[in-house]
Amino acid sequence: MSLSKIKKGDVVKVLAGKDRGKTGKVLTVIPEKGRITVEKVNIIKKHKRPDQKSKGGIVEKEGSINISNVGLFCNKCKKAVRAQNKTLEDGKKLRICCKCKEVI
């Protein structure tokens, strides 16, 4: 798998699939499988058995989606964009939008 510029906590926009057009915050990144979990996107129903701590039933939770189906969301452009890395003089790295040159 290729290295992705999407990290936990980023805001992304879904580009393909049943939830196309939705935006959400990245909850988890699974780089070895090339998948991510996005808040309120790809909701699945999971049947859970009761145990000593909680009651059983049907639980709704976020499923993972392929990382190629999302794009990094720029607040200034209001769309999914590509990001590039920029290194400052003090050695600090920043991700900036390729279109508007704004820090993401």
**For 9-50, how does the pLDDT look when each residue is reduced to its tens digit (9 = 90+)?**
999 999 999 999 999 999 999 999 999 999 999 999 999 999
Residue 48: partners with Cβ closer than 8 Å, 6 or more residues away: 54, 56, 57, 58, 59
Residue 30 belongs to domain spanning: 11-97
- The pLDDT of residue 1 is 39
CATH number of the domain encompassing residue 53: 2.30.30.30
Quote the CA–CA distance of 74 and 87 in Å, as a whole number.
19
Total domains, the chain: 1
**Whole-structure pTM value:** 0.84
Is 2 within the bounds of a domain? no
Q: Is 84 part of a structural domain of the chain?
A: yes
pLDDT at 91 over 70: yes
Residues of the chain with pLDDT > 90, as a percent, come to 86
